[in-house]
Each structure stands twice: as C-alpha cells, then as structure tokens.
C-alpha cells in the first residue's frame, strides 16, 4: 500500500509547553489509523496540524508526497471534536453550502439516505439531538467524497446505539477506499476500527503498531476475574498477583490451568469466574499510567 500521509519530526509548542514533541509516522492509503492517548497527550494538536488548521513549529506533513495544498483541501474530509454550525439554517441548506465549497461533491440525497438524515433534513441545525448532529457532521465531512477522512473523537458523548451506528458508517467509508485517521478515548472503538494505532503521551508516540501486535508484544498473560470477597486477603496476597477493583479481584496469569487449580485448592468458589484476554485498555493504562489527566 502506498503512503498517503507522512508526518516527520512534528513539533508544536504553546509557550513553555511542548504539546507535540518530534512526532513521526506514516499512514497507508486505505487504512484506518488510530491516535490514542489521555487528555492533553497532544492528539488533537497533532491531527489539527495534519488537517492544516494549525501550523507546526517545525517538522513536515506530506500528503501524497507534497506539502498540504489545494489538492489536500479538496480531498480531505474533517470531523472535529466539537463543531458549532451556523444558526437559523437547515440541515439541507448547510449541506448545500458545504457542497458548493468543493469542485466535486456527493449528492445530498445520497448522503441523507446513507446516514439517515431524511427525517431532519429540513430542521434547523440548532434543534438536532447529539446523535443526529454527529451523523450530520460525518455527512458534511464526506460531502466532497474525501480520499482521507479525519475523525477527532467522533463518538464522544454518544449513546451506545449511536456509537455502534457511527462505527458501521465509518466502516462503510473505509470499504469505499478512503483512508481514515481517528482519535479516540474508547479503546474498544480503536480495536474495532483501526488497522494500526499510535499511543501518545506527553506529546510523544510511546507505542505504534497493529492493535494485536501491540497486545502480543506487551502481554503474555490473561486476566482471571473472581469475586474479591471470595478470596481471603492473606491468601490472595501470598499466592496470586491480583489487582483489586471494586468487588473484583483480577489475577494476571500466564497459566490459566495452574491458577484455577490454585483457586480450587483454596476452596475459592468459581461461580463468578471470568477469563478474558488483555485488551487495549489494559495496554493503554499500562503505558500511560492510571493517574487522572486534566
């Protein structure tokens, strides 16, 4: 696959804070690339520089081998984390306005069909629900039939149904050949949608690979989860490497048979036992820590 976007040694400072610190990566055409990280990690600043909204202090961003220019503007679709729309105009009117910005644009009716906009096509943009607004913003980002689509935390604040629905729509866009760059807080979303992810923290990329490859590289254990009250605390601390969260005890083990044999040996009931593989959230917390970010 050819490289569609290439970021080299990108730096952005705000006063004494280095928000993006010598970041480099490449995105292959037709892939979905996820940029993950805690609040303030530099994801949005990075994506905004790649969108051409913000100027980097140093470093280069190339689209199809060229600096961002007219071709990029015409071929990029962008959905920001938060966007206010012009007031007192309808969904149809705002889509018509945006379609006129581009030399080639998709049919408004086709987009309305695909993203279920018909029921509110003639409604004032101020009167849309959160899910409806996200669908409209996605449709607006796709109005120029983009070759590269930027989605900055597209499902933040959505209910589970709307989130699933948006994932399906993003998958459809991908199937049509567009390249997607996604930032998200939801690890499940990144795992579901992305071919490749980069985890950022303090302005730097601290891990970068395909999700399964990252998990394989960092973990060789699984989580055995049982009810915490069922384990006498002294036994747990002596025999297991366990993490207690609320009512659960999470035992990290590379040998499930041995762990279960131990639990049986101590007469610990297995009624509520769950075994799960390590996931991106575990990896994310392991790499970025558990302290709360502003």
Partner 1 sequence: MKWSRIYALFVARNLEFVRDRSSLAWNLLLPVLIIIGFAYAFNNENPEKFKVGLVVHGELQGAAAKFRETRYIKFIEFDDADSNLTKVERHQIDLLFDAASKRYWINRSSPNGYIVEKLLIAAYADSPESLQKSLVEGDEIRYIDWVIPGVIGMNIMWGALFGIGYVIVRYRKFGVLKRISATPVTAMEFLSAQILSRLWLLLLVNVAIYVGMDLFIDFRMYGSYLNLLLVFVLGSVNLICCGLVVAARISSEEVANGLLNLFSWPMMFLSGVWFSLEGAHPLMQKFALLLPLTHVTEAARAIMIDGDGLLQIADHLLVLGLSSVVLLWIGARIFRWE
| Contact residues: partner 1, CB under 8 A | 51-54, 70, 73-74, 76, 78, 80, 82-89, 93-94, 96-98, 100-102, 140, 144
Cβ–Cβ under 8 Å, residues 64 and 40: no
Q: Which tokens hold the place of 147?
A: 């070759």
Q: Which of 112, 81, 82 is nearest to 96 (CA)?
A: 112
With a CB cutoff of 8 Å and minimum separation 6, the contacts of 39 are 293, 294
**Nearer to partner 1 (CB atom), residue 72 or residue 284:** 72
Cβ–Cβ under 8 Å, residues 81 and 44: yes
d(CA 73, CA 38): 29
Cβ–Cβ under 8 Å, residues 86 and 125: yes
**Nearer to partner 1 (CB atom), residue 124 or residue 239:** 124
**Nearer to partner 1 (CB atom), residue 103 or residue 177:** 103
Please, what is the minimum distance in Å from the beta carbon of residue 279 to partner 1?
33
Please, what is the minimum distance in Å from the beta carbon of residue 95 to partner 1?
11
Q: Which tokens hold the place of 251?
A: 């035992």
**Nearer to partner 1 (CB atom), residue 181 or residue 199:** 181
Please, what is the minimum distance in Å from the beta carbon of residue 70 to partner 1?
7
Cβ–Cβ under 8 Å, residues 219 and 229: no
Please, what is the minimum distance in Å from the beta carbon of residue 52 to partner 1?
8
Please, what is the minimum distance in Å from the beta carbon of residue 239 to partner 1?
55
**Nearer to partner 1 (CB atom), residue 50 or residue 197:** 50
């Amino acid at each position: 696959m050819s490289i569609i976007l290439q970021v080299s040694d990108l730096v952005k400072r705000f006063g004494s804070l280095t928000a993006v610190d010598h970041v480099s990566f490449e995105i292959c055409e037709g892939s979905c690339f996820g940029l993950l990280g805690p609040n303030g990690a530099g994801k949005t600043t990075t994506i905004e520089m790649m969108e051409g909204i913000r100027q980097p202090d140093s470093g280069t961003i190339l689209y199809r081998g060229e600096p961002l220019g007219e071709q990029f503007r015409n071929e990029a679709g962008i959905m920001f984390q938060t966007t206010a729309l012009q007031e007192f105009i309808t969904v149809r009117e705002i889509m018509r306005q945006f379609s006129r910005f581009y030399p080639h644009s998709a049919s408004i009716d086709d987009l309305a069909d695909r993203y279920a906009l018909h029921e509110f096509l003639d409604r004032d943009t101020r009167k849309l629900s959160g899910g409806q607004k996200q669908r409209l913003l996605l449709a607006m980002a796709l109005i120029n039939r983009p070759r590269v689509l930027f989605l900055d935390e597209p499902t933040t604040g959505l209910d589970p149904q709307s989130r699933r629905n948006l994932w399906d729509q993003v998958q459809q866009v991908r199937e049509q050949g567009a390249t997607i760059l996604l930032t998200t807080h939801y690890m499940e979303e990144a795992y579901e949608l992305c071919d490749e992810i980069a985890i950022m923290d303090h302005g730097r990329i601290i891990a970068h690979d395909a999700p399964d490859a990252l998990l394989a590289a960092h973990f060789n254990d699984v989580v055995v989860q049982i009810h915490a009250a069922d384990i006498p605390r002294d036994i747990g601390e002596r025999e297991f490497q366990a993490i207690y969260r609320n009512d659960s005890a999470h035992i990290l083990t590379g040998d499930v048979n041995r762990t279960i044999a131990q639990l049986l040996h101590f007469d610990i009931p297995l009624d509520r036992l769950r075994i799960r593989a390590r996931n991106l959230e575990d990896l994310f917390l392991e790499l970025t820590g558990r302290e709360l970010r502003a």
